[in-house]
Amino acid sequence: MIIFLNISCKDNQSKDSNLNSVNKTPPNIIFLMTDDQRWDNMGCYGKPEFETPNIDRLATESVVFDKAFYAVAICMPSRVTMLTGRYNSNHRVGFVAPDNFTLSQDDFSRSYPALLKKEGYRTGFIGKVGFTVSEKAQRPSTPKEHFYKENLSGTFDFFAGAETVDTKGFIAWPENDVELQRIYAEPNRKKYTRTLRTGEAMLRFIDTQPKDQPFCLSVSFYAVKHDNNNHMYMPHFDLFKNNRFSVPQNWVEGTNEELPKVVKDNARGYYLHKQRSSTPDKHQRLVRRFATQGYSVDQQVGLLVEKLKEKGMLENTVIIYTSDNGRFQGSHGLFDKCLLYEESVKAPLIVYDGRVASKENARRENALISSVDIAPTILSFANIEAPKSMQGKDFTPVINKTQDMSQWRDAVFMEDLFLVDMFKQRAKPEAEVLRANQKLIEENKSYRSHGVRTDRFKYFVYYEHTPKIEELYDVENDPQEQHNLVNSKEHRTVLKELRKKTEEMYQEVLP
């Protein structure tokens, strides 16, 4: 079934574009996050071949950000960053040592859902959790059990989630919600895929929402990650099975010998590309499957908006759409994510505010936004002051055009702390894991990196490598990042400035 939206309301034309004129009634807030969805894999970001009509239509009445970036581009730490408004090197929740802690209950209490709950919001979570909350921060970050009911029920009134897939370690409450339990019962599992189940649960939350209480619903789709048939709704796959998709200019057939040796020798994206995206047929096969899953998500977004309209809620609801990280899909001769090229770190970000939504108020926005800004911005929509622990910036003034842009940031900080060899060590005793980490650094196998993205340039450095390896790109004139300018005499000043900027921002990030 294809759902096409007609979002506009009759009185939209009379709505003031300035959020300061909006009444103080707390808005409902819906935060939609996909998994591994590359920023340009949708129509509103320039690729209509992906067929995302509902998201595209939502974008026509939204602020669409063209320079939004992930502070970290891999699922667990990225999700915690958006939840807490803190950088990876600060919250230290991630897959590999030394930054492989769980999120403590104390830290979780300062996340946007917990703070909204304290202020009277009804809160819900549906989908992939991707991280663990424990009484105190502890290693490893990926324990065998997650105890969602024990650790999250005080924050979420409505929950239907699992660590990675909703067929393993899944739990849902309220337990007496017969319809919610039916959605995830075995007959429904066989009939529908994970994305359609997520959509059903999302609509169930709206159907059970009291009229006299604001709500915040966080929906974390399991799609578009993984591309086997079990994760796809095959009737949707039939729409794309014969399509030929455009190929990015920086897609590499075979191997990319221009990558730094430490990346080629150690990063999983290099060898995964050989396996999965290094030929035209492999690339097309994968992109068709990512498009299928993106389309399935798009259909759920359509159903959500129609449900909000049906319930009379849309005009007081903020919808934020993004992903947890990008994906290379063969660009740069890489698969996977993490590394700090645009395909990995650039984010889709669409913000719809039903209180002022109209085609006249919609626009594209070039302000530099970081995923660390999500939490304080959500709190700002609810008129709640962000705690001091949050390191991000509230970008509602950018949305409502009250921000003096000369005072807005001139760079975003990003980092990659993931090493695949350390990921393989994660189940070993802590002391052994930490020794293994040090050994990798000493053997010059670490490709951990951090850097900054300005309006025009991208700089990052593999800082644990000896000697340090640097990359500098004029992304405005070289959006495919094909020409490393580190050795360019013309760009010596820029290089020096961004080196300094990176170190300054890194020091500010640390706990």
For residue 186, what pLDDT is reported? 84
Residue 373 phi/psi, 5° resolution? -85, -15
pLDDT in tens, 428-459: 999 999 999 999 999 999 999 999 999 999 99
- Tell whether the model's pLDDT for residue 145 goes beyond 90: no
- Lowest mean pLDDT segment, chosen from 110-114, 145-149, 394-398: 145-149
Mean local confidence (pLDDT), 159-167: 91
For residue 11, what pLDDT is reported? 41
Helix, strand, coil content of the chain in percent (nearest 5): 35, 15, 45
Which domains are assigned to the chain?
Answer: 24-406 (3.40.720.10), 413-509 (3.30.1120)
Mean local confidence (pLDDT), 383-411: 97
pLDDT in tens, 330-376: 999 999 999 999 999 999 999 999 999 999 889 999 999 999 999 99
Q: Which tokens sit at 117?
A: 């709950």
pLDDT in tens, 10-64: 343 334 444 444 457 899 999 999 999 999 999 999 999 999 999 999 999 999 9
| Average pLDDT over all residues of the chain | 94
Q: What's the pLDDT band for 188 if we cut at 50, 70, 90?
A: confident
Q: Cβ distance 56 to 44 under 8 Å? A: yes
Residues 6+ apart with CB under 8 A from 481: 250, 332, 341, 342, 458, 471, 473, 475
Pairing of strands 133-134, 103-104: parallel
Q: Cβ distance 29 to 317 under 8 Å? A: yes
For residue 23, what pLDDT is reported? 52
Return d(Cα 377, Cα 396) in angstroms, integer. Answer: 6
Mean local confidence (pLDDT), 416-430: 94
Least Cα distance to 351 among 375, 380, 373, 321 occurs for 321
> What share of the chain has pLDDT > 70, as a percent?
95
433: left (phi over 0), alpha (psi -120 to 50) or beta: alpha
- In the numeric block, the tokens 């947890």 are attached to 324
Helix axis angle, 374-381 to 75-84, nearest 10°: 40
SS3 123: strand
Q: What's the pLDDT band for 117 if we cut at 50, 70, 90?
A: very high
Does this model's pTM top 0.85? My answer is yes
Mean local confidence (pLDDT), 158-166: 93
Helix and strand numbers (H, E) in the chain are 19, 16
- Tell whether the model's pLDDT for residue 80 goes beyond 60: yes
Q: What's the pLDDT band for 415 if we cut at 50, 70, 90?
A: very high
Adjacent-strand bridge partners of 349: 65
